[in-house]
Amino acid sequence: QKEVEQNSGPLSVPEGAIASLNCTYSDRGSQSFFWYRQYSGKSPELIMFIYSNGDKEDGRFTAQLNKASQYVSLLIRDSQPSDSATYLCAVKGGGGSYIPTFGRGTSLIVHP
Amino acid sequence: DTGVSQDPRHKITKRGQNVTFRCDPISEHNRLYWYRQTLGQGPEFLTYFQNEAQLEKSRLLSDRFSAERPKGSFSTLEIQRTEQGDSAMYLCALPDSPTDTQYFGPGTRLTVL
């Protein structure tokens, strides 16, 4: 069974700090990796996706992928109180797989 | 706007009743997914359609659950003889090609009393 593991948190950081969110996955054949943000009572919304080893930056967000170690992380720079949400990691296998597996999410609290 | 609406947004029902949810893509999408999300968990895959064909079902989808997509556009998810354990958010999602990013609808929150 494909598993995606995230620390449920909460992760608490002060405003302006860097928040680091981590995710590990079990399926070594996984090809696509996604980070979603979910506010309480709302549906998940995409932050970014990454396919290749290394870093991918989009504004204040950086996704990091290490396939050898089977982990993917999300860094949020200059954290704002509006970043307080649950961050979901999702992983999709290769070989024509169309079904992503989601982690349980990490709750992030950014305090002023 | 993710291009998909869901109805109803909230549903409260008594145990043993049947409920039906609807998912409406605004534009044509070949594939359509259903997920269930309970408190403190990520979305769990239930089933997906390629046009009107239901191609895969999770083992979470017991025989009390049925999903249809009769014309390859909107989809319905029915739960028969609801149980308290069915209380959850039911999410419909459309994938983006070629990334397969899931774009979620607003969800239907089901509460079974």
Rounded Cα distance, A65 and B6, in Å: 34
Distances (CA, A) of A53 to A31, A66, A74, B72: 10, 5, 13, 37
Pick the more confident residue, B30 or A110: A110
Rounded Cα distance, A26 and B22, in Å: 34
Q: How far is B59 from chain A (nearest CA, A)?
A: 12
Summarised one tens digit per residue, pLDDT across range A80-89 is: 999 999 999 9
- Cβ–Cβ below 8 Å for B45 and A88: no
Only one residue has tokens 């999903």, namely B67
Q: Please tell me which residue of chain B has the smallest CA distance to A43.
A: B106
Contacts of residue B45 in chain A, CB cutoff 8 Å?
99-101
3-state SS assignment for residue A97: coil
What was the pLDDT predicted at A103? 97
Q: What is the pLDDT along chain B (113 residues), one digit of tens a residue?
A: 668 999 999 999 999 999 999 999 988 889 999 999 999 999 999 999 999 999 999 988 889 999 999 988 999 999 999 999 999 999 999 998 778 899 999 999 999 99
Summarised one tens digit per residue, pLDDT across range A7-63 is: 989 999 999 999 999 999 999 989 999 999 999 999 999 999 999 999 999 999 999
Contacts of residue B44 in chain A, CB cutoff 8 Å?
102
Asked if B92 and B4 count as a contact pair (C-beta separation under 8 A), the reply is: yes
Nearest to B100 by CA among A89, A99, A95, A72: A99
What was the pLDDT predicted at B24? 95
What was the pLDDT predicted at B62? 87
Only one residue has tokens 């043993």, namely B16
Query: How many beta carbons lie within 10 A of that of residue B42, not counting itself?
Result: 22
Asked if A35 and A87 count as a contact pair (C-beta separation under 8 A), the reply is: yes
What was the pLDDT predicted at B1? 63
Strand order in the sheet with B19-25: B4-7, B19-25, B75-79, B65-68
